[in-house]
Structure 1
Amino acid sequence: MSETEVEIVPVQLVLHDDEDVPREFIVDLLSRVFGKSDSEAASVMANIKKNATAVCGPYPPSVADALLESARRRITIAGHSLLIVRETAKPRCGLCGQPAAQSEVQLTDRTIWLCADCVRAAATASQQLPEEEFNYAFSVLNAYFADVPRSQLVTTVRQFPGHMRADVQAAVDRLFAAPVRLFGLAEDRRYETLSMSRLMQDDNFAVTIAPLQYNDVDIGEPIPAKCLDNGLWLCAVSGLRYAILLAIHREYSREAGVRIEIMVPAGAAGAELVQQCFTALEDAVQAARTYRGKILSLDADPDYRGRSRGITVHRLPSIGRDEVILPEQTLRLLDRNVLNFVGTRDVLRRLGQSTRKGILLYGPPGTGKTHTIRYLASHLPGHTTLIITAEQIGLLGAYMNLARLLQPAMVVIEDVDLIARQRENMNGCEEPLLNRLLNEMDGLKQDADILFVLTTNRPQQLEGALAGRPGRIDQAIEVPLPDETGRDKLVRLYGKGLPLDEPIIAEAARRSEGTSCAFIKELMRRLAQASLARDGGRSVISADIDEALDDMLFSGGRLNARLLGGAQAMAAG
């Protein structure tokens, strides 16, 4: 916990009630600008409703000014009239409750003020550890707590999911930003989790001091998050010394977790400090700023960049509406049932209506269901998208925990027919997976901001309990084979680098009737190959189309046509 004495007059920002401003916008503002967790944002909204105002802060003046400018800019861009004013604050000491002096302490994503007595006591406590080199963890702790009997030391533990490691590390870095000392710890036994009691053992297996060891965790940003494997922080505030242990908890065949243990002298002051620290850590994990609003999947595959990960962040390009080659009627269905539905969630909630929804996208392979999902993800601001493949359905519980944490969220389950077939066609392993999916969909609260999007190539095989009961699937949307207008657009899209004349575009679109988007994409590649072989890529002629279609539809047989998405065209021919 860092302490920096600064001559400042703290400032608070006051939000005034405005019935014309959507609640969703204010909550988003509190999250993105003020860094509020969901629970904190709900508390602010409750204060606005009850008192017509709510206070954020106190902050140092420079921080308050930056937050105010950012908030006003967002309000102006959104076209709202939300009033936020700047006022001088009268803070109290964050530890003893007495009127605070002019000294601030940064506690994770919040600032608290300390009185002069607490500042002096903390400065005195920070001098308790000798400036010497230590070889063992027990000698560090013995020196730091030399005047405290071991029987008077108390530890408290919290364990967080390994895939939230980056958020836990970020919170720890802010919360204990300027410790008295920070030590790395050796980990001799991989599946023996380090604990405070283990560190204090003075025997042949004593834990040794080691260099700090960090892992780079890919979080979808240009710079990975640096996460510590094992670390011991020695800290002090208000005359109270305490120690924090971060350790990786491993169990065979299970995801590693992050274990935080805080040790303090017994008493009310220590208990209060521990509660403050864990509340700040839990708030940071609940806010989940590292992954919120991104496209994610749980992935344990090897990473050849050498970065460990529990969550994979997919870097997918944004898809515009004009890039989704679907019939206009299908696009309107998507807009009404997904984009417009999400935009009216606040109103629906006030009217007592459910805000969860299930969408089924069905159609032949290669028609663009995955591309359509990318379009939806691109146009759901603030939503986290979780992509679950059929082989990962065993991780559904972990995915749903993430969805609840990161909501509003869109949960995508691809090829759902592989685990949701009619029960009479299932084997003994598949039915529990279906039951788990149904239970997760039924178990969501009515006001959950979670959207299920399921995809299938075989809708006729779906289990009736999934497809035939309202509240699980609310709207089925067909993603059909492209019509002539769609095929014309696809030829232009995938052939934009080719020297295509208008008659050739029209011919390719006409002759690819009954084929999928994937088929037309492959057709354009083969036209490029034929053109390169004939005249170096300077032109595309009808003979090139003849050659490509013959290879794709006829010479390769029915199986090849099915693989490429042209089975219906072959049948028609």
Structure 2
Amino acid sequence: MDASPPDDWSPVPGAPAAARSLPASDEQVNADADGTKGFVRAFRAFLDEVVAKERTTAEDHGPQIGEVVREHLGSAATVTPLVVREEIPGHALVDLDIALEVLAERGGGERVVGVGGGDQAHHQSFGDLLTRGYGFYGTGPVDHVNLPTGPDTTRRVIAFGVRLLTFRGQPLAVLQRAARPQYGRDSALEVACLDEDLAPAFIDEVRRLMLERSVLRGQVVSFSGSPFEPHSNGGITFVARPDVGEADVVLPPGALERIRRHVIGIGRQREQLVAAGQHLKRGVLLYGPPGTGKTHTVRHLVASAPGTTVVLLSGASLAYVTTAAQLARATQPAVVVLEDCDLVAEDRGMSPGERPLLFQLLDAMDGLDGDADVTFLLTTNRADLLERALAERPGRVDLAVEVPLPDLEARRQLLRLYARDLPLSDAALDDAAARSAGVTASFTKELLRRAVLVAATDGRPVQDADLAEALDELLSDAEQLTRSLLGSGGPGTPDEGPSPGADH
């Protein structure tokens, strides 16, 4: 059988047979070659025009950034400076800005220049910018951003700019950049110099100053995980230090004194303890039913430790316990507060393969040296869920204090505390205390608010009868769920036996 294709066969269906099979003539080949050469010449001219325009645009915006840096470094155009990059956590950009400013002042001042080229410049490393990478980058305005340095303060920080300064008598240039996730860039500093030993020494000094001058030191912060929270600095949010005095805390006799001695007293006696070979790191657990005042006690401790760094973790932010421990170690004296640990005792971290958060907490505590002046302050409604894990690692928590339901005397104190600005008689307050056995501090606070609301609805000051009416309402069957949500039992729940928080 003849296997040769038919005369009209073509790999392009539908094309005329004559057009499919005719070989190209020499004239056609030469014409194609000339066309290709013409295209190459035209494309080359186009590229030359683009480059010329880029150069003209850059010159219109000032000298090239590479030329400015080389002039500062004293290097020839043919010498490429050494560039060393250091990643910076997003929350530490303010610390970096402060550290670089300090070093600039020590070196006799600095000149700060911006980088032209629009968004394209943010894609480039410092080395690319200096060698003209993918374009011609002139000088331009310096990019700045306002970042929080506290609950009510901010600092204008360089977000993208080059600092020209000297260190140890030698010139160097530093590109300071804020994180730009859309360009695949994290916060960083990139150091350009001619001496290969200068950049590492400079970066070491920057790190030291960042720790020493950190705006987080002595502040109260929480981990939000989001840079878009108010007062947030790279996912860390500044919190105003609370104002809760000792008289505002109602606990069983001696309980608050024990807690304060452990959390605050150890730090105050730091030198004596270290000289005696004793460790400073400590763990404190406050446990008891919901609504009894554990968080209120924590707020008092935070208020009583001005100048101490406090990191607040609760809920999902407990996953940041390792980072919080590192921050506490760097800014000690510090307190790491972990609220409601029982709610995530078995939860895992940000990745499915990670260990339960409670064990991550214990690992973080183990990772600190004994002489670290750091307190881990835990609160829980279910100590039984934590006891086994804590017992298996003895010494991580060295003080556990119960915060029980308030007894009769404690309820009297709570009512007087929350009613101190109200015209209510002692007799009315004592009667309410006697009728409200088994309730929490949260219940007591809500009781007084309702009494004020009853009077306000009638357009008059609160009276003793309003307190009695509000208590009747809260103790009624209709408010059973409300009492449960306030951490209290049923109406008239009797006080338990002779526990530290029970009536005697």
Q: Could you state the TM-score of these two structures normalised by the residue count of structure 2?
A: 0.76
Query: Alpha-carbon deviation of 1:385?
Result: 1.2
- What letter matches 1:332 in structure 2? E
Q: Helix, strand or coil: the match of 1:480?
A: coil
Trace 1:11-410 onto structure 2 (pairs within 5 A): 134=62, 136-141=64-69, 144=72, 147-151=75-79, 153-177=81-105, 181-185=111-115, 194-202=124-132, 205-207=135-137, 209-220=139-150, 222-236=152-166, 240-250=170-180, 257-266=186-195, 271-272=197-198, 274=199, 277-301=202-226, 303=228, 309-410=234-335
The 1:406–1:156 alpha-carbon spacing in structure 2 relative to 1, beyond 3 Å, is: same
The 1:479–1:307 alpha-carbon spacing in structure 2 relative to 1, beyond 3 Å, is: closer
1:437 and 2:361 correspond: yes
Q: Helix, strand or coil: the match of 1:354?
A: coil
Structure 1 unmatched runs, 5+: 1-130
* Match 2:398 to one of 470, 474, 479: 474
Query: Alpha-carbon deviation of 1:222?
Result: 4.0
Q: Helix, strand or coil: the match of 1:183?
A: strand
Q: Deviations over 1:524-571 (max 9, x none)?
A: 11000111223x2324133x2343234333243432211122225554
Q: Helix, strand or coil: the match of 1:528?
A: helix
Say whether the 8 Å CA contact 1:193–1:248 is kept in structure 2.
no
Query: Matched residues in 1 for 2:339 and 2:228: separation?
Result: 23
Q: Deviations over 1:412-443 (max 9, x none)?
A: 111111232599xxx97784323322211222
Q: Which residue of 2 aligns with 1:560?
A: 482
Q: Helix, strand or coil: the match of 2:178?
A: strand
Query: Matched residues in 1 for 2:394 and 2:121: separation?
Result: 47
Q: Which residue of 2 aligns with 1:21?
A: none
Structure 2 unmatched runs, 5+: 1-58, 496-504
Q: Deviations over 1:3-47 (max 9, x none)?
A: xxxxxxxxxxxxxxxxxxxxxxxxxxxxxxxxxxxxxxxxxxxxx
Query: Matched residues in 1 for 2:168 and 2:388: separation?
Result: 63
Query: Matched residues in 1 for 2:449 and 2:117: separation?
Result: 53
- What letter matches 1:551 in structure 2? E
- What letter matches 1:158 in structure 2? E
The 1:407–1:264 alpha-carbon spacing in structure 2 relative to 1, beyond 3 Å, is: same
Query: Alpha-carbon deviation of 1:232?
Result: 0.7
Q: Helix, strand or coil: the match of 2:146?
A: strand
Say whether the 8 Å CA contact 2:124–2:133 is kept in structure 1.
no
Query: Alpha-carbon deviation of 1:170?
Result: 1.0
Say whether the 8 Å CA contact 2:93–2:187 is kept in structure 1.
yes
Q: Deviations over 1:100-125 (max 9, x none)?
A: xxxxxxxxxxxxxxxxxxxxxxxxxx
Query: Alpha-carbon deviation of 1:290?
Result: 1.5
The 1:443–1:235 alpha-carbon spacing in structure 2 relative to 1, beyond 3 Å, is: closer
Query: Alpha-carbon deviation of 1:408?
Result: 1.7
Query: Matched residues in 2 for 1:376 and 1:240: separation?
Result: 48
Query: Matched residues in 2 for 1:219 and 1:172: separation?
Result: 16
Trace 1:545-556 onto structure 2 (pairs within 5 A): 545-556=467-478
Query: Matched residues in 1 for 2:468 and 2:429: separation?
Result: 14
* Match 2:448 to one of 511, 524, 544: 524
The 1:301–1:522 alpha-carbon spacing in structure 2 relative to 1, beyond 3 Å, is: farther
Q: Could you state the TM-score of these two structures normalised by the residue count of structure 1?
A: 0.68
Say whether the 8 Å CA contact 1:422–1:464 is kept in structure 2.
no
Query: Alpha-carbon deviation of 1:406?
Result: 0.8
Identity of aligned residues (%): 32
- What letter matches 1:264 in structure 2? C
- What letter matches 2:172 in structure 1? Y
Q: Deviations over 1:464-523 (max 9, x none)?
A: 122454211111101112222322222222223322122222222222221111111111
Say whether the 8 Å CA contact 1:528–1:537 is kept in structure 2.
no
Aligned length: 433
